[in-house]
């Protein structure tokens, strides 16, 4: 059994069926990237793992605990184990970088201010942003905002990090920097990472495995180094850009 298990998930929004019998097993400590066309349900998968959206049927297990049946109080404790890097970084514009990174720590932990300050500095250092604690988000580049958001995501010491389109809107240099940080976070923190992306260069670079969503389920799961050699026509067509909107 994997560390994270999606089992026979069915999910629909009114008449729109997003998943039909979706199953996926994710190993502890791996980085798995979810690919698929627009509307294939990639972001819904992340929201279900956070307990923000519940499936209509099926199970979602984290370390053998089914989060689908949990109430809000139990889900809060689960979410504390999950860091999230949002597509738009989702920083609070009215507070400093340090206050952004410390936000969850102040809200959900009993750490002293000294320990919070030390942790904020350490997390910013891990993403290569030493000494910018007093800057405001408006003064940061897009790449720096992503790195601050990653520092905030790891401040909790999460077991899982979810990356929603982590390189979207970045130039190649900053996209490459984010990709390298995803790899470093996995190696240094032993974190289980789930990446949702349209960026196949990023997928090839950061992933241990790649899962393709197609026809409302996981159509293929392939080791990252093998995906370019896959004989699966769906995988080949996606990689070469011939599927279009799935």
Q: Kindly state whether residue 37 falls inside one of the protein's structural domains.
A: yes
In the block, residue with structure tokens 């910018």: 132
Q: Kindly state whether residue 95 falls inside one of the protein's structural domains.
A: yes
Which pLDDT value is given to residue 243?
A: 46
DSSP SS3 for 242 = coil
Contacts of 50 (CB under 8 A, 6+ apart): 79, 82, 84, 162
Q: Kindly state whether residue 115 falls inside one of the protein's structural domains.
A: yes
Q: Kindly state whether residue 20 falls inside one of the protein's structural domains.
A: no
Residues 242/65, Cβ–Cβ less than 8 Å: no
Distance CA 136, CA 93 (A): 7
Containing structural domain, residue 124: 29-47+72-239
84-94 b/e (C-beta count within 10 Å ≥ 16 → b): bbbbebebeee
Per-residue pLDDT of the chain (246 residues; tens, 9 = 90+): 789 999 999 999 999 999 999 999 999 999 999 998 777 888 899 999 999 999 999 999 999 999 999 999 999 889 889 998 888 788 999 999 999 999 988 988 888 999 999 999 999 999 999 899 999 999 999 889 999 999 999 998 899 999 999 988 888 998 999 999 999 999 999 999 999 998 888 999 999 999 999 889 998 898 988 877 777 777 777 777 644 443
Q: Kindly state whether residue 186 falls inside one of the protein's structural domains.
A: yes
Which pLDDT value is given to residue 59?
A: 97
For residue 102, the domain's CATH number is 3.40.50.300
Q: Kindly state whether residue 60 falls inside one of the protein's structural domains.
A: no
Contacts of 90 (CB under 8 A, 6+ apart): 149
Q: What is the dihedral of CA 203, 204, 205, 208, to 10 degrees?
A: 90
Residues 71/85, Cβ–Cβ less than 8 Å: no
Longest dimension (CA), the chain: 56
Distance CA 164, CA 43 (A): 7
Number of domains comprising the chain: 1
Task: Retrieve residue 118's tokens.
Answer: 């030390």
Task: Retrieve residue 181's tokens.
Answer: 């940080």
């Amino acid at each position: 059994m994997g560390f994270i298990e999606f089992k026979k998930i069915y999910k629909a929004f009114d008449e729109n069926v997003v998943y039909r019998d979706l199953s996926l097993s994710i190993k502890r400590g791996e980085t798995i990237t979810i690919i698929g066309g627009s509307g294939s349900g990639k972001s819904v998968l992340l929201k279900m793992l956070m307990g923000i959206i519940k499936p209509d049927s099926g199970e979602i297990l984290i370390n053998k605990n089914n989060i689908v049946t949990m109430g809000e109080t139990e889900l809060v404790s689960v979410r504390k184990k999950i860091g999230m890097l949002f597509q738009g970084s989702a920083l609070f514009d009215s507070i400093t970088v340090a206050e952004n990174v410390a936000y969850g720590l102040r809200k959900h932990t009993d750490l002293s201010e000294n320990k919070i300050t030390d942790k904020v500095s350490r997390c910013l250092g891990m993403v290569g942003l030493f000494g910018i604690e007093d800057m405001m988000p408006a003064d940061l580049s897009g790449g720096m905002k992503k790195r601050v958001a990653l520092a905030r995501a790891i401040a909790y010491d999460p077991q899982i990090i979810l990356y929603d389109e982590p390189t979207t809107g970045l130039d190649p240099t900053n996209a490459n920097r984010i990709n390298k940080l995803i790899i470093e976070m996995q190696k240094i923190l032993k974190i289980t990472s789930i990446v949702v992306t349209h960026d196949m260069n990023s997928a090839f670079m950061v992933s241990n495995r790649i899962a393709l969503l197609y026809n409302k389920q996981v159509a293929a799961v392939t080791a990252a180094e093998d995906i370019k050699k896959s004989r699966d026509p769906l995988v080949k067509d996606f990689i070469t850009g011939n599927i279009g909107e799935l």
